[in-house]
Amino acid sequence: MAKRPDPLAQYNAKRDFALTPEPEGKVAKGAGNRFIVQKHDATRLHYDFRLEIDGVLKSWAVTKGPSADPADKRLAVRTEDHPMSYADFEGNIPKGEYGGGTVMLWDRGTWEPIAGKSAKDLDDGHLHFTLDGTRMKGEWLLVRMKPRPGEKRENWLLRKVDDAFSAGTDDLVGRELTSVLTGRTMAEIAADDEGEQSLKCAKGAAFAKKMQAAAQHNKKVAKPVVKGKPPKFRPLQLATLVDAVPVGNGWFHEIKYDGYRAEIAAAGGDVRVYTRNGLDWTDKFAPLVRHVAALDLPPCLIDGEIVAYGKDGNPDFSSLQAVLKRGHGAQDEATALHFFAFDLLEQDGQSLVKLGNLERKERLEALLRHAAPPIAVADHIIGAGETLFDAMCSAGQEGIISKRADAAYSGRRSKNWLKVKCTRRQEFVIVGWNPSTTKARPFASLLLAQHEGESLAYRGNVGTGFDAATMADLAKKFARLARKTAPLDIEAATARKAQWLKPELVAEIAFAEFTASGSVRHASFLGLRSDKEAKDVTPEKEQSVPPSTSDVTITSRDRVIFPEAKATKGDLADYYAAIAPVMLPHSARRPISLVRCPQGRGKKCFFQKHDAGSFGDHVHQVPIREKDGGHEDYLYIDDADGLLACVQMGTIEFHGWGSHVDAVEEPDRMIFDLDPDEGLDFAAVKKAALDIRRQLADLGLVSFAMLSGGKGVHIVVPLDPGHSWDAHKDFSKRFAEALSMAEPDRYVATMSKAKRKGKIFIDWLRNQRGSTAILPYSARAREGAPVAVPIGWDALADVKGAGAWSINDADELIKRPAGADLKGWGFAAQTLPTY
């Protein structure tokens, strides 16, 4: 009988195990379904994707790393099989050896073919499977490409299947920068020269034991223990019912979910669920609590809606009632509770309620970037509310919620949140019932009321919308609430046969309209509202939509500001009015410096950072200590009218500090401005941006790209406040100087024009106290009226210049942040490294 070929022969032949810390190749039995991903910084950074099959790890080198976006087809080059012992490999392969470089254990878990498929499908050039890892989850596909003539390597494509775990292009490799085994960054692993954690020492029993312990307690080792307690309940922001959808980009719009409003307070595995009145209903929503706990969130307070889906696939209040009545032990996939998060009120002990609605939403997107159903962030659109409203009404949904983009969270009912309903629905107090002449029905109809002032007012009755189980349940409740007299004034004819109840039960009722006497017409029972108290049930009357006009008057609208583009002051004002919702999350409440050009671009433009008292009430002042010990008032804005007030005074550009006015001495944003020499093309700048992104990632820092609107690209690094300006400046300086020393032919870290020839200046000087950088979406006082525009890392490759968009592109720019590559752009919870 012929001897079977050794599947690890190629692996062993390529390595000298006297020089490399990698384990020798031996076929071994495992659980049969492990998968791992190793981030491998060799000749070229890539991600090694490995599946356990037949006692070995079948392997592919994924050049860009896996993407959770189904639209991304990532090249995966088939490599030699690896031994099972490689599944815990993390360390440094010596330079000069095969695969020399740093290896991080980036993800791991289990895999299995989908039903009806098997691992043998690989022989036919495809594999459809599911992953359950720390980072990679859900359905995936591997498909072999047709080889080109003379091509020796075996090329495959790795692609995410569209499912509950799909996400944006950069959600995986762009934001997941540490080992799932040891919690280290690539830089920390690379710097492990003495081998305290390197697998070169894994041959020693002591370290092997240490690595095994790390593997068993991965969650504790790879992530810092969440400190702090879940925040306390905060009074909820409530929406005002209006008769039309508000218009303009100053509003964004969400679906009005048909469920229970809830606040979720979390800190790691400690999670609390509060009703709209602050009742602790954690036990009632135990399945959701487990899903939130699994996210291991920092201390935070999230506002949202708990829903259940009906038979038509839409959120349905009656279905929610049925799930709660059954109890969470009886749930299956079809009846599970879901939580749609739409606001973030606190994070890491910091109240966020003074921030604008859209900025809080962006921070929420960043916080819940790993969430998967049944936890999700509610989608929104800016402007175009009528389109969403018509779609919801056509689908039989309740309506929409419209939110003023720049408004704070007030914790009460206001016109900063509006609700527009497709059908009329309100809460009513059940005050009695009418007997039924049919034996199968315990009652014929319910008598309804609402509070007006100190008393209850009769609002008619409802006799439809009940099934047998609901009627039986209500009858049991009525027995303990019975009373002899009416709890309200009511006409004798209406009260003739009524059986009265203590006014404690709250019902949700759908109806066509109110009659002239104030009773509901064509009413239908939807369910009881156990999350609301009877004393709070009052009539809900439609109000008019608040005006969307600005308080700021723009004069001389026809004055030409950009001669080449023939753009006027009015055009510039219209641009800022349109773009304000997505600009303000990055510019509001930061000390700003303005580039004012009262006569137009290039005509006596000047910087202004102090207030001369001429900007009006919408531009605010914050006193900041100067170097001489005195204080000066600096400018800042917090709403769209603030932007327009500055434009009225001749402002074109907005530049911001790296900190906010409420914590001026605690920087929270680092900027690296890539400024190319005149002779360099934009392709060199893009390559430099991607290289710097990688270097920052090796240090564990998530970064974002922004086209400056000038010549270069800004690398934006959000940071948690808590470090000093000196530490901020020192880190950015050392980082830029290290890059310039490593590649002196490409980079320079000094401003000297003479030393910049043919190179890119990594401008770190914007990270000093008092320095500013151009703000996202600011116009530039340059030819063509370009603007500074955030851009996804993958999209950067297709951009031909730093001024790709202008003030004429407001309609396109306002839609872009909803795309997968820009959700949560500019926000990440991360601290300044100390090394």
| Euclidean distance between CA atoms 435 and 377, whole angstroms | 46
| Euclidean distance between CA atoms 365 and 587, whole angstroms | 18
* The token pair that represents 319 in the structure block: 């279905």
| Euclidean distance between CA atoms 828 and 823, whole angstroms | 11
Do residues 166 and 69 make contact, with C-beta atoms less than 8 angstroms apart? yes
| Euclidean distance between CA atoms 613 and 748, whole angstroms | 41
- Helix/strand/coil (H/E/C) assignment for every residue in 492-511: HHHHCCCEEECCCCEEEEEE
| Euclidean distance between CA atoms 532 and 218, whole angstroms | 42
| Euclidean distance between CA atoms 427 and 510, whole angstroms | 9
Contacts of residue 510, defined as CB under 8 A and 6 or more positions apart, other chains included, come to: 423, 424, 425, 465, 523, 524, 526
Tell me the residue type at 193. Answer: D
Assign 3-state DSSP to the chain and report helix, strand, coil percentages, each to 5. Answer: 25, 30, 45
* H helix count then E strand count, the chain: 16, 43
- Which residues are annotated as catalytic? 256
Burial 377-415 (b: 16+ CB within 10 A, else e): bbebbbbbbeebbeebbeeebbbbbbbbbbbbbeeeebb
Best CA proximity match to 781, nearest among 708, 674, 677: 708
| Euclidean distance between CA atoms 799 and 803, whole angstroms | 9
Contacts of residue 103, defined as CB under 8 A and 6 or more positions apart, other chains included, come to: 38, 39, 40, 41, 89, 90, 91, 92, 93, 189
Residue 35, CA distances (Å) to 138, 255, 452, 825 in order: 13, 38, 63, 30
Contacts of residue 593, defined as CB under 8 A and 6 or more positions apart, other chains included, come to: 607, 608, 609, 635, 655, 656, 772
Q: Report the Cα–Cα distance between both ends of the chain, in Å, rounded.
A: 60
Beta strand segments in 580-712, E: 592-596, 606-608, 620-625, 631-636, 651-656, 669-676, 704-707
Beta strand segments in 660-769, E: 669-676, 704-707, 713-718, 747-748, 760-763
For residue 782, the cross-strand partners are none
Do residues 23 and 86 make contact, with C-beta atoms less than 8 angstroms apart? yes
Residue 620 CA to chain centroid, in angstroms?
30
| Euclidean distance between CA atoms 202 and 96, whole angstroms | 21
Please give the full DSSP string across 82-111, using - where no structure is assigned.
EEGGGGG--EEEPTTSTT-EEEEEEEEEEE
The residue count of the chain comes to 835
In the 8-state DSSP scheme, what is residue 15?
A: -
Residue 743, CA distances (Å) to 602, 729, 733, 748, 758 in order: 36, 21, 16, 9, 13
C-alpha gyration radius of the chain: 31
Collapsing DSSP to helix, strand or coil, 25 comes out as: coil
Quickly tell me which residue has 């641009």 as its tokens. Answer: 575
Do residues 749 and 692 make contact, with C-beta atoms less than 8 angstroms apart? no
Pairing between β-strand 338-347 and β-strand 375-377 as defined by DSSP bridges: parallel
- Mutual angle of helices 640-648 and 569-587, in 10-degree steps: 140
